[in-house]
Structure 1
Amino acid sequence: MKRILLGLAAATLCSLAANAGDTVQDWDQAKAPPPPALKDVTVKAATTSFLILDIEAATCNEKGRPRCVAEVPAMAAFLKKARDAKMLVTYSNTGRGSPETIMPPLKPMEGEHVVKASVNKFRGTDLEQYLKDKKIETVIICGTTAFGASLHTATAASARGLKVIIPVDCNPGSSVYEEQAALFSMVNGPGTAANLTATRLSMIKID
């Protein structure tokens, strides 16, 4: 009897597995969820930092990421707005980058802080302490690729108790799918959902 029951259980499991199908084969059934609602945001210049992540010639170019190049003018316009409001501006480079390789409209001014790291800009850098010393409570993140530095730095910032603002028009991807997937992860993911707001650069008001 015991062997019969074990045999029936095994057959049932095999049947369920067969009916479930292969994970990858099921992916073509995926449907993109509705875009998240974009919200107006008001920030205080004194307690907010504008993070410009990896906007370098090697990572933001017409060949590899034309969507990034297209968004540079909007980033540059917001950068001027942030500087005029005396907001703290903070930069990052990739491992091979430097302040000199940052796209010309966005180059750091003397005294603006630059860190160098992989996708999580808090890891192995002084970014956390620097923002603490400056009494920063909110970060506005623009990055060269949404599912790279933007996603990972946003998650790290949220884990440190910072409020995170992600403007959709300065977090591009190599494809629309990358942008959608990264934004969905940031808006809904357990590491960021409670502290993150999706918006547009034009929807951010600085007090």
Structure 2
Amino acid sequence: MARPSLAGRRLYLVCDAAFDRVEEALHGGVDIVQLRDRALPDRELLAHARRLATLAHDHDALFVVNDRVDIALLARADGVHVGQDDLHPRELRRLCGENLLIGLSTHNREQIEHADEVDYLSVGPVHETPTKPGRASVGHDLIRYAAAHADLPWFAIGGIGPETAPAVAAAGATRFAVVRAITQARQPRGIAEQLRRMLAR
């Protein structure tokens, strides 16, 4: 099995196990789903990861697990996403082999410049967000920097929704990673469709 391609993948949903409307978001154009839930016991996390992997794959979307390469492998995920303080991607690659995507969170120019042995980046948070309390926003400057200098595919993240997305796209983002704008929406499909249209411009 070859490592999945990110070509054409533009809208990335990050959700926890409580979000039960993933299929609506997939119908709206989400093409990558990440499970991020540090509160669940391991057995529940694995069971939920397996369900999400099946759901994503049924819609030709990719499925990624946050932090947990063991869960990613057992659930037959397409990738694992890690932060700056997690295992180095080189060590992750030794664990997961060549077939899983590895994503890395970045928050400044140096991290973008020195990102290696990964397949994609997230860049942010563009705006302050309760999903990452205490982390300062990077604003549009880092988005412009990533657009000009990043060698890898990257997703802008942090407070991105229909109201804020146009300015983020104008700064150079061609891919969005979204949390609350979809998970807290009354109509997840409609929000996903709006964001896809913005990315298509």
* TM-score band w.r.t. shorter chain: 0.3 to 0.5
TM-score by length of 1: 0.32
TM-score, reference length from structure 2: 0.33
Question: Taking CA–CA contacts closer than 8 Å with sequence separation of 6 or more, which of the two structures ends up with the larger relative contact order?
Answer: 1
